[in-house]
Amino acid sequence: MSGQVLPRPAMSGADRRPISLHVGVLALLFGLQFVLPAYDHTNMARIMILASYAMGYNLLLGYTGLMSLGHAMFFAAGLYGAGLAAYYLGFDPLSAFLAGTIAGVGLSVAVGLVALRTGGVSFMIVTLMFAQACFLLTLYFNEITQGDQGIVLDLSAWSWDLGGEEGPLGLISPPIRYNLALLLFTLCLLAIFFLMRSRIGRVLIAIRENEPRVTMLGYHSFRYKLGALTLSGTMSAAAGATYALLFSYVGSTFAGIQYSILPLLWVLLGGQGTILGPLLGTALMFYLVDISSEYTSSYMLIVGVALVLLVLWFPKGILGSLRQRWLPWLP
C-alpha cells in the first residue's frame, strides 16, 4: 500500500481541532441512544462494535501499510474465546471478554511471527491461508463449536440493578448493550488516537511510506510491525468478544472470508489512515446493505456498484478525500 498519498498533519500537538472533533463524535454517539428508535438503537450498538473491529484493521492497513486478508481469524478468536468460555466454563462476562481478548493476543503474535516474514501480496496470501485454517478448525471441532449453526449464549443471569423503573437491566438489554459497545469503541478510538500522536505512531506511518529507509534510521521494523499486528489483532478480538457477549451468539460465519473482506471495505469506504474513517465506513455500509435489502434480494450488487463508484471518485475513502482537499489537520 505504500506510495499512496496519505498525508499526515504536522506537529498537531498544539492544534485543538482533532481532540475537539473526536470528543464531539463520542458525545454524539452517547447522545444518540436517547433519540434513536429501537431498531436503529440496536444497529448502532452493532455498528460501534464492528467499527472497533475496523479500527483494529485500519491500524494495520491504514497506518502501517500492511493489507491482511485474514482478520476474521482475530475477530473469531475473540468471539470463540469469549463465547466458549462463557458457554462451557461459565465465565462471567468480564472474564469471558478477557479470555477472548487474550486469545486474540496469542493468535496475533503467533500469526505475526510467521506472516510478517513476508510482505505485500505474500502477506495477503499468508494471512488469508491462516484465516481459512482457523475457519476450517471451527467446522472441524463441530462438537464444541456447533459449526455453522453456532451456539446461542444464555447470559440472562447477568444483570445489574441501576435503580431504573424497569428493574435490573440484563447484559443484552438495549441501554447496557449500547453503552458497553460505546465503551469498547471509545477505548479503541483513544488507543489509536494517542498511538498515532506518539513516536511509535510516527515510526509505523514511516514504515508504510518507506520501510527500507526506516531500518536505515535505526529501527528494527519487524518489531514495530509485529507490535502493530498484535494490537490490531487484539482490538479485532476484543470486538469479537464483545459481539459474542452482547449479541449472545457465536458461529463460524464470523470466521469466514466474508468477515475478513468486510473490514477492508469499511476502511476503504471511510478512509484508510483516518481515525474516524472506520466508523463512517462501517455505518454507511451497514445502512447501505440494510436499505437496499428492503428492495432487492441481490443487495450485494448495489453495494458493489456503490463501492466501484466510490473507488473511482474517492480513492482515498470519504475522510481521506476530505482531508486531502479541505481538512489537512484530520488525524
- x/- map, 246-285, other proteins, by CB under 8 A: ----------------------------------------
Residues numbered 178 to 237 that lie near other proteins (CB under 8 A) are 199, 202-203, 205-206, 209-210, 212-221
**String of DSSP letters for 37-53:** -HHHHHHHHHHHHHHHH
- From the number of C-beta atoms within 10 Å of its C-beta (0-12, 13-18, 19+), residue 1 rates as middle
Q: In whole angstroms, what is the distance from residue 159 CA to residue 162 CA?
A: 9
- In the complex with other proteins, the residue whose CB is nearer, 130 or 193, is 193
Minimum distance of other proteins from residue 215's CB (angstroms): 5
Instruction: For residue 202, give Cα distances in angstroms to 63, 64, 207.
Output: 9, 10, 9
Minimum distance of other proteins from residue 176's CB (angstroms): 37
Q: Is 327 in the site for other proteins (CB under 8 A)?
A: no
Instruction: For residue 186, give Cα distances in angstroms to 11, 103, 119, 287.
Output: 24, 21, 31, 22
**String of DSSP letters for 213-239:** HHHTTT--HHHHHHHHHHHHHHHHHHH
Minimum distance of other proteins from residue 196's CB (angstroms): 12
Cell of 137: 478448525
Residues numbered 32 to 61 that lie near other proteins (CB under 8 A) are none
- In the complex with other proteins, the residue whose CB is nearer, 130 or 224, is 224
* Size of residue set near other proteins by CB under 8 A: 25
Total Cβ atoms within 10 A of residue 170: 15
Buried b (16+ CB within 10 A) or exposed e, 86-103: bbeeebebeebbbbbbbb
- In the complex with other proteins, the residue whose CB is nearer, 72 or 203, is 203
φ/ψ (deg, to 5) at 288 = -60, -45
Minimum distance of other proteins from residue 224's CB (angstroms): 11
Helices and strands (H and E) in the chain: how many:
13, 4
Minimum distance of other proteins from residue 164's CB (angstroms): 43
Minimum distance of other proteins from residue 226's CB (angstroms): 14
Residues numbered 3 to 22 that lie near other proteins (CB under 8 A) are 5-11, 13
- In the complex with other proteins, the residue whose CB is nearer, 210 or 293, is 210
- In the complex with other proteins, the residue whose CB is nearer, 71 or 316, is 316
Which residues lie near other proteins (CB under 8 A)?
Answer: 5-11, 13, 199, 202-203, 205-206, 209-210, 212-221
